[in-house]
Each structure stands twice: as structure tokens, then as C-alpha cells.
Amino acid sequence: MNQSEPTLRANLQALPRGVWILFFGTFLNKFGAFVLPFLAIYMKRLGYSGAQAGLALGAYGFGHLLASFFGGYLADRIGRRLTIVLSMLSSAAVMLCMSQARAVELIILFSGLAGLAGELYRPAGAALLADLTPAGQRVTAYAVYRAAFNAGWTFGPAVAGFLAQKSYFWLFLGDASTSVLYGLVAWFALPDGGKSDEGGNGLRETLRVLRDDRKLRQVLCSSLVVGLVFVQVFSTFSLEITRSGFLPSTYGLLISLNGALVVLFELPLTTITRRRPPRRMMALGYVVCGLAFATNLLPRTPVLLVLTIVLLTLGEILCMPISAAYVADLAPSHQRGLYMGAFGLVWALTFVLGPSLGTLLYASSSTLVWLICGVMGFIAATIILAEPAPSIPRSRQPDRALHAGEPISIE
């Protein structure tokens, strides 16, 4: 490594105090997300069918879609901190109400509200991270943000499993309690971040941005394509594992391996990837994600299953922190919530559409699923590598001063 390049330790030490508070709150929130992983099991225990549990999970996904839009709007209008506080306190209230619901209609309703309230904070958190971090440090910052997120998901479900053995009510109470705690941390310790005094960050402005900012459309389209591939890890990949004669516990171990690899290796690798052209790194990550699922065309052995997860994790590490930083760099300061909300909405859409489309195709031909996944990785790479659009109007240009001395550019 060039001696003039900052080390990982130097990059981490340069991050502002408010960023570390945001990381702590994100870990706390995801560690305490006890209900969602056990929602299907909880509903089965109440006597409902798998299809009814699927409706409840789908309602959560729909709420998440709405949260990506409204969360971005609120982040720009009322501020990042207030949006996070509103999200956490309303999420706690919904969880306590849901704990008392027994009718399937009410459970589905509260599941949708939980997706809306519980995910409302995400665009605000991503925008606040961009507010507090200079452009040259954003890849590292988003990598730590993802590490906190993944660490919470890695350890939280294990604790939730012990709570569920006592009573499922403890899952709802624990989920609500950690949300309130994050809300208090946000209110008393997080900075306000930016917010817009300008009108027009609603639906009309979102459509105008998508019309005018071709670079944003480029990264959103490529993310949608690769996202439909990536979410197969939660649907068709699990079916492939059990169809190949492995136990469900094997799938659980592989998912845990993915989380552990992200936590262990994403940050060190960002010291390399942040110095490379971002669109090329994203394209490489997209291709590797597609190839990871294409390995399912080979005979399934334990070694090949591990190889699939290692490749998928490598692709994830290469593209995801950089893509978030790339969108943040594209955004004018008064519209960061809108941009990050649009980015989050695309990923929420992949979680709604991807599993159902994948399982539908898998029922007719598993081979076709893995071939299409491999091809879509290359399609996503082609989209993001296409010749950049002409410069956006000067009034909406990002602050180039932030990029001084930083080789990563959005051009």
C-alpha cells in the first residue's frame, strides 16, 4: 500500500463522534429486532397456516417499501434525528400492540405498520452518516455501518431464541425496549444533521430527480437487477440446500458464515476498494454475486456450499459499501434523505419481489434460476459501467470540495 494512503486505523479514528453513536444505535436496533425472525414460528404456534404467516411477512415488506419513501421525505423535512426518534418510538408502540393481537387480520395489519415504523429510520440514518462524514471517508463509514447492522443480526436472533423459550411476549417486549433505548440515544446524543428548508421533497420532486439525474437512475437500475439476484440467498438457495439432502441447520450455518465474513473482512477490504473507481468496484461485485449463485449448477457438496457463500460475501463486500457512498456523493445536501430513500426503496422492492419470482421460477426449473442469476450479475455490471450521463445542472451538483485529494469520484 502507498505510504501516503491512510491506514484502516487512521480512517476509523478520523470518523466523528456522532458517527460512532449512530453505529451503536444501529447495532442496538438490529440486535433487538427479535420479532421478525420468529414471526412465522409465532403465527404457527397461534394455529395459523404458513400462507397466513407469509402474508404477515409480505405486509412487513410492503411497510418497508413505504418507509423508504416517507423516511427519506421526513429526513429532509423535519431532520435526521427527529425522524430516527419518531421511527423508534412508533416502532415500540406497534410492537406492544402486536403482542396483544390474536386475529390474523390484526397481526397482518400490525406487521405492515411494524415495517413502516421500524424501517423509517434507515434513510435518515444513511443521510446523517453522509452529513457527518467527508466524501473521502464515506466508504469506510458505510462499511462500519453495515458491520454494526450485521453484528446486530448475528447475535440478536440467538438471544431471541432463548427469550422465546420462556414466552413469545418477551420477544415483543425486548424488541420494543431496544427501540425505545435507541430513540433515547438518538434524542440525547445524535446531532441534528442536515434538513431542507426548501419545499418539494415529496413524490413530485422524487420523480423529477429520477428524470433528471441519470447517474442516480443508473445505480438504482443496477442495484435492482443485482438485488433480485442477492435475495435468492433467503429463498431459492435454502430450497436448493434442502433439495440436495442437507439439513436446514446447514443453511443456518451458511447464513451465519456470511454475517461473520462481512463483520471480519469488509472493513479491511475497504482500505483497498475505496481507492478504486467506484463504478468498476460495483461492477466487479455484481459479477461475483451472479457467479456465486451460478455455482449451484455444480453438484452440491459441503465445500461448494461454502464456496458459494464466500463468493456471495465477497461480491457483497465489493459493491454494497461503495454503492451507498456513491449515492450519498451524488446527492445535494438538502436532498440526501430523498436520494438515500430512493436507494433503500429499490432494495426493499427486491426483498418484496425477489423471493416470490425466484421460487416461482425454481418450481419449474432450478437450473434456469441459477443460469439467470449468473447472467443478471453481468447485466447489472453492464448498466453501472455504461458511459456516464452528462453533468447534472450546476445547482444540483454535489460539493466537489469534499473530494479534494480523494481518488474516488462519481464521474
> Which of the four pLDDT bands, split at 50, 70 and 90, describes residue 177?
very high
Exposure of 336 in the CB half-sphere (CA atoms within 13 A):
29
- Answer yes or no: are the C-beta atoms of 114 and 63 closer than 8 Å: yes
* Alpha carbon 328 to its chain's center: 14
pLDDT at 176 over 90: yes
Helix axes 203-212, 336-364, angle to 10 degrees: 80
- Answer yes or no: are the C-beta atoms of 90 and 120 closer than 8 Å: yes
Q: Which of 313, 326, 311, 347 is nearest to 281 (CA)?
A: 326
Q: End-to-end CA distance of the chain, in Å?
A: 24
The residues, any chain, with a CB within 8 Å of residue 260's CB and separated by 6 or more, are 154
- Among 106-110, 242-246, 350-354, the range with the most confident prediction by mean pLDDT is 106-110
Q: Which of 44, 31, 14 is nearest to 104 (CA)?
A: 44
Q: Which CATH number is 206-386's, of 2.40.440.10, 1.20.1250.20, 2.60.40.10, 3.10.250.10?
A: 1.20.1250.20
Q: Provide the pLDDT for residue 207.
A: 66
pLDDT tens digit string along 236-287?
888 888 888 888 778 878 887 888 888 889 888 888 888 889 999 999 999 9
- Average pLDDT value over all residues in the chain: 84
Burial class (CB in 10 A: 0-12, 13-18, 19+), 3: exposed
pLDDT tens digit string along 282-331?
999 999 999 999 999 998 899 999 999 999 999 999 999 999 889 988 88
Unique residue bearing C-alpha cell 417499501: 65
Q: What is the reported pTM?
A: 0.75
| Domain 1-195 part of CATH 3.40.605.10 | no
> Which of the four pLDDT bands, split at 50, 70 and 90, describes residue 406?
very low
d(Cα 47, Cα 351) in Å, to the nearest integer? 26
Q: Provide the pLDDT for residue 196.
A: 57
C-alpha cell, 162: 432463548
Which residues of the chain form CATH 1.20.1250.20?
1-195, 206-386
d(Cα 189, Cα 111) in Å, to the nearest integer? 29
The residues, any chain, with a CB within 8 Å of residue 168's CB and separated by 6 or more, are 38, 42, 45, 99
- Answer yes or no: are the C-beta atoms of 362 and 369 closer than 8 Å: yes
The larger pLDDT score, comparing residue 409 to residue 196, is at 196
